[in-house]
Amino acid sequence: MSLTLTDLPTVVSQLTPHISTDETLPVLHGIYLEATGTHLFACATDRYTFALTRREATDTATWQAILSRSDLAALRALFPTRRRPADLTLTYEAPAGDSDPDGHLTIGDGHRALRVSANAPLASLFPKWRPLFAGALAAEPQLTDEAHLNAAYLARWAKAPSERYEPLTVWSAGPGKPFLVAAGHGFLGLQMPVHRDDKPSAPTADRQDRAALRTTWTDTLNSPATVPERHLKAA
């Protein structure tokens, strides 16, 4: 059971920012791999963001595995990210009873190889990602009110594009719904918004809705400039 990818280090780079550090959720402590016979899907999530990639990769069988953080560190050391594509073959060894309950995954380029645990029992517990992404992808954009996003989580999407200058496509079905992030046709992501319970009666300085922001900024932006200003044109 083997398949070949030309950009596995890129996949790892795309997904690593989304790996969970929650010690109570070991199933989220790495990158989930799923071979379907025609594609290799890879996921990572910490429940605040969820990243998914796919690559065309033919295999004779289906399998799933999880690459732990330590395995990923070893993989990056042995096969660093390169600008030019480099074939890496992933060979899956299924669990063999009590003697090998986790199975193994060997990653190699014909000259070097890294053999790690496939963590098969753990992989079977990974969240069901298909219905989650299917629902977000099918939802129509309906963001008619302001939404609040964690800036640190937003920064994770900087690794999403596999090509330089590739733009991100983003939409949301509403203020309380996840933001869907796409980079090309090979990457999808979800980011949960921050829930704020801003009461209309609260002081303006304590709120971050549109009305409060307009109140605090309107006078400044509509007042004449006190120093000469240079007007810039949009690119």
- 8 CB-near residues (< 8 Å, 6+ apart): 75, 79, 88, 90, 107
The sign of the dihedral angle between the CA atoms of 98, 104, 110, 114 is negative
Could you give all domains of the chain from N- to C-terminal order, each with its CATH number? Answer: 2-127 (3.10.150.10), 128-221 (no CATH)
pLDDT confidence of residue 215: 82
Q: Where do the H-state alpha helices sit in 166-207?
A: none
The mean pLDDT of 106-120, rounded to a whole number, is: 94
Most confident option among 79-83, 116-120, 221-225:
116-120
What is the torsion angle, in degrees rounded to the nearest 10, for the CA atoms of residue 174, residue 179, residue 184 and residue 186?
-120
Residue 48 has pLDDT above 90, yes or no: yes
Specify the pLDDT at position 228.
Answer: 76
Question: How does DSSP classify residue 4?
Answer: E
What is the residue-averaged pLDDT of the chain?
90
Mean pLDDT, rounded, for 202-227: 77
pLDDT at 37: 93
Provide mean pLDDT across the span 64-88: 89
Cα distance between residue 8 and residue 15, in whole Å: 11
Position 198 pLDDT exceeds 70: no
CA distance 76 to 13: 9
